[in-house]
Amino acid sequence: MLESKEVWVLDALSAEYNQFFEYLNHPKNVKYFQVEDFECRQLPENYFNYMFSFGCLCHVSFEGITEYATNIFDKLQPNTPCFWMIADKRKYNNFIEHSKEFNIWDALSPKRRKFAPLKYVFDAFSKLARPTYMDLDVFEEGQGHWHDAGVDRTCEMLEKIGYKIVEPDIGLIARDPMIHFIKP
């Protein structure tokens, strides 16, 4: 996206706090706005031809996501492709239940009995490498502040606002849905 003519960023945290520009080597085509609400007043109307959010909206309440979707609608040009990653407890729990399928150490661990000592080493690495979020119900109050927007509820809300759902989950991430929708 950094090769785009312009990239506009809205974030609750400052660029300085995030070290945003330092991390990206100070790109000239990026406009960064620290925001306190979901009004989107910094954005021009009928201007944007692509929208992407990854790893942010799962920390926003459903009411906040709804307000954001409503206020950004008129900022988008017709047929703008939009991609939003949101939190969905059902998909998250399914990922946790099948986490061994996604564990590289389990996949590499020897299966034959003669390699049993080596298997113990792989199992130890597997336990050490296990992300701590997998031991938490992060949707509980105070545990990471994830908000279970839910893919079905979010798609329904987007359609009520006037967006068209292309794909409720493009399958990019095993843990979280990525909704593909457009402003018609």
The span from the CA of 3 to the CA of 70, in Å, is: 28
Range scoring the smallest mean pLDDT among 9-13, 23-27, 102-106, 157-161:
102-106
pLDDT (0 to 100) of residue 176: 93
May I ask the CATH architecture of the domain 37-183? 3-Layer(aba) Sandwich (3.40)
For residue 140, the one-letter residue type is E
Range scoring the smallest mean pLDDT among 33-37, 67-71, 138-142, 144-148:
138-142
Most confident of 1-10, 12-21, 94-103, 112-121: 12-21
pLDDT (0 to 100) of residue 95: 85
Higher pLDDT, 128 or 10: 10
Question: Which own/partner pairs from 145-148 qualify as long-range (CB within 8 Å, at least 24 positions apart)?
Answer: 145/59, 146/58, 146/59, 146/87, 147/58, 147/59, 147/60, 147/61, 147/62, 147/65, 147/87, 148/87, 148/88, 148/89
Whole-model pTM: value is: 0.81
Whether the predicted pLDDT of 51 surpasses 70: yes
pLDDT digits (tens, 9 = 90+) for 74-117: 999 999 999 999 999 899 888 888 777 766 666 666 677 776 66
